[in-house]
Every structure is written in structure tokens, then in C-alpha cells.
Structure 1
């Protein structure tokens, strides 16, 4: 079934718009993912620092580090 010029133009416009939407969404996903990775790294660093303090306190008290 052949498309009329109007139908072809409609579908081409739809194709172009949705391609741009997908590209924009992919960009947003990557930006959000980068933020999450950065926050996870911050939390991991804080956790490691707390573990070092906890380990030091255990040693000073002579108790087992769980």
C-alpha cells in the first residue's frame, strides 16, 4: 500500500520527532546515571571512613571488630 504525500510527511515528521526524543532521553539517562555514580562514590567513601574510625575504637577498647 503506497502512502500519500501527506501520510509520508506525517510519518517522516513522527520519525524525526521520536528520534530526537529518544536521543534526548538517552542524554538525560546518562546525566542522571553519572549523578548516581558520583553519589554512590561519596557514600562509599563516607562508609570507609566510618569503618576506619570504628576499627580504631575497637582496637582502643580491645574488643573484636564485627
Structure 2
């Protein structure tokens, strides 16, 4: 089936519009991913700092570090 000029113009317009929408969605996805990556880095740094404090407290108290033992057990599986 052949398209008349009006139909062809409509579909070409749809192509342009949806291409722009797809580009905008890709941009939004990248923006959200950047936010998530930044937040994950913040959380990982906070976890690392807390872990260092936990390790130091165990050392100062002279008690075994249960977290270190758990990690060793998990790594040994």
C-alpha cells in the first residue's frame, strides 16, 4: 500500500517526535544512573568508615572482631 503525501508527512512527523522522546528518555536515564552511582559511593564510604570504627573498637576492647570472622567464613566457602 502506498502512502499519500499527508500520510507520509504524518509518519515522518511521528518518527521525528519519537526520536526526540527517545533521546530525552536516554538523557533522563543517564541522569538518574549518575545520581544512583553517586549515592552508592556515599553509602560505601559511610560503610567503610563505620567498619573502621568497629574494627578499632574491637581492637581497643581486646575482643574478637565478629564481622571479620564472618567475612573470612563467607570468603572461605
TM-score normalised to structure 2 length:
0.84
Q: SS of the counterpart of 2:2?
A: coil
Shift of 1:34: 0.3
- Secondary structure in 1 matching 2:65: coil
Give the aligned partner of residue 53 of structure 2: 53
How far the C-alpha of 1:62 sits from its partner, in A, is 1.1
Quote the residue 1:8 is aligned against: 8
Q: RMSD between aligned alpha carbons?
A: 0.5
* Greater relative contact order (Cα < 8 A, sep 6+): 1
TM-score after normalising by structure 1 = 0.97
- Tell me the number of residue pairs that the alignment of Structure 1 and Structure 2 aligns: 66
Q: Which residue of 2 aligns with 1:23?
A: 23
Segments of structure 1 that go 5 or more residues without pairing to the other structure are none
Name segments (4+ residues, structure 1) moved above 4 Å: none
Q: State the 1:64 CA deviation.
A: 1.1
In structure 2, runs of 5+ residues without a counterpart are 67-77
Q: Shift of residue 63 of structure 1? A: 1.1
